[in-house]
Amino acid sequence: MKKQYLLAPGPTPVPPRVLQAMSLPIIHHRAPAYKAVFAEVREGLKYLFQTREEVLVFASSGTGAMEGTVANMFSPGDKVVTVNGGKFGERWGQIAQGYGLETIVIDVPWGSAVDPGQIADILAREGDVRGVLVQASETSTGVKHPVKEIADIVRGYDQTILVVDAITGVGVFELPMDEWGLDVVVTGSQKALMLPPGLAFAAVSQKAWGFNRQATLPRYYFDFAKELKNALKGQNAYTPAVSLIIGLREVLAMIKEETLAGVFARHERLANATRAGVQALGLELFAPASPSNAVTAVKAPAGVDGQDVVKVLRDDYGVTIAGGQDQAKGKIFRLAHLGYVGEFDVLTGLTALEMALMDLGYEVGERSGVRAAQMILRAGN
């Protein structure tokens, strides 16, 4: 028997108490018992997103909330700006174009964050941009984009909203929706929310609800207004993923117990330890200037294919991480540290990485990524 370790940026490990909650007998989604559960979830989501607004819940992956946002906020021919710095920034552009929006794409080198000044220049020049669509954390490259600085710019435009894909951002680092003036924030269940895949979330500002009332793109299942109307009655518009909602109640209780400040500090400590560990091995970060605390992207060393690192870790050591995508395939590998992850998960991942690299012919020598990470983790306790 080989024990398996999940250190990929989604799905992430699920805590035992959450698994236990989801194993309870199913309840009917129109029964009073479900309404009571959903009431707790609604309040817990407001705490997580740091908002007074309702957070809509859908049975889908996070991409469903991304597509739903485009369909609910815009009309055919509307002009939007998307930031393409990885596979998920690329997805914003593909969704917008698929719905017939005029899309201005800011291409950012993979591994780099967008310059907010580029967005400011476009908004000033174009004059009629309806939306700016960006990632908080670009999962494919390990980059954190400057959401607060972008929000400061977009707030100056009454006819423009800021839409943030925070699928590996919510529950990892600060993204206070109301304080920063974020208009739509989306996430998914299988990341920092420590659940299996299957739930998507969209928090919507009052400014964005004004856009929704004007939007004419077609929608049915992802109808935000319909979902809001039902949520305010303690229901979902359509059949929800009941067991996941019950698990979500437990997750939100855990987050409140740790506090948001504690959650963010833990993710920062684990990210710092991971980055110190891989650099101590002589490896380079793929996003050194603006790394995300959700996942660390690492350049594969010369002569080693990043996909081979992923394969050896999985097949020989039972540790699942993620490889590079598209133009980064084979060039990087990604170690995640979000959700139900602790100090010894990071140390396990680094230990296995050292062994895998040696198997692939990389000279580790006397270097120790584990030792470097230990020093960071001990300093944080």
pLDDT, one tens digit per residue, over 271-316 is 999 999 999 999 999 999 999 999 999 999 999 999 999 999 999 9
Query: Cβ(86)–Cβ(141) under 8 Å?
Result: yes
Query: Cβ(199)–Cβ(59) under 8 Å?
Result: yes
Average pLDDT over residues 223-239: 98
Per-residue pLDDT, 330: 98
- Where does the pLDDT of residue 2 fall: very low under 50, low under 70, confident under 90, or very high at 90 and above? confident
Q: Please name the residues in contact with 220: beta carbons below 8 A apart, sequence gap of 6 or more.
A: none
Fold of 16-258: Aspartate Aminotransferase; domain 2 (3.40.640)
Locate CATH 3.40.640.10 in the chain. 16-258
SS3 category, 139: coil
Q: Is the pLDDT of residue 207 over 70?
A: yes
How far apart (Å, rounded) are the C-alpha atoms in residues 164 and 305? Answer: 33
- Where does the pLDDT of residue 163 fall: very low under 50, low under 70, confident under 90, or very high at 90 and above? very high
CB atoms within 10 A of CB 175: 25
Phi (first) and psi of residue 174, to 5 degrees: -60, 125
How far apart (Å, rounded) are the C-alpha atoms in residues 321 and 28? Answer: 37
Q: Is the pLDDT of residue 381 over 70?
A: no
Q: Is the pLDDT of residue 1 over 80?
A: no
Average pLDDT over residues 326-343: 98
Locate CATH 3.90.1150.10 in the chain. 259-379
Looking only at Cα atoms, what is the longest distance across the chain?
63
Q: Is the pLDDT of residue 180 over 90?
A: yes
How far apart (Å, rounded) are the C-alpha atoms in residues 135 and 138? Answer: 6
- The chain-wide mean pLDDT, for the chain, equals 97
SS3 category, 165: strand
The CATH number of domain 259-379 is 3.90.1150.10: yes
DSSP classification of residue 301? P
Identify the residue whose tokens are 């540290």: 337
Per-residue pLDDT, 307: 98
CB atoms within 10 A of CB 305: 16
CB atoms within 10 A of CB 21: 18
CB atoms within 10 A of CB 30: 10
**What global pTM score does this model have?**
0.97
Average pLDDT over residues 135-139: 98
Average pLDDT over residues 219-245: 98
Question: How far are the Cα atoms of 110, 118, 283, 285, 293 from residue 288, in angstroms, in the given order?
Answer: 12, 21, 11, 5, 12
| Least confident among 6-10, 244-248, 342-346, 363-367 | 363-367
Return the percentage of the chain with pLDDT > 70, whole number.
100
Strand locations in the chain (E): 5-6, 55-59, 79-84, 102-107, 129-135, 137-138, 143-144, 161-165, 184-188, 199-204, 295-299, 319-320, 322-323, 332-336
Task: Label the pairing between strands 199-204 and 184-188.
Answer: antiparallel
Residues 243, 249, 253, CA angle at the centre, nearest 5°? 150
User: How many residues are listed for the chain in this entry?
Assistant: 381
Q: In sequence order, what are the beta bridge partners of 105?
A: 82
Query: Cβ(123)–Cβ(153) under 8 Å?
Result: yes
H helix runs in 74-144, sequence order: 87-98, 116-126
Q: Please name the residues in contact with 102: beta carbons below 8 A apart, sequence gap of 6 or more.
A: 77, 78, 79, 80
DSSP classification of residue 25? P
- Where does the pLDDT of residue 380 fall: very low under 50, low under 70, confident under 90, or very high at 90 and above? confident
Query: Cβ(122)–Cβ(103) under 8 Å?
Result: no
Tokens of 353: 């990485």
pLDDT per residue as tens digits for the range 66-92: 999 999 999 999 999 999 999 999 999
Per-residue pLDDT, 326: 96
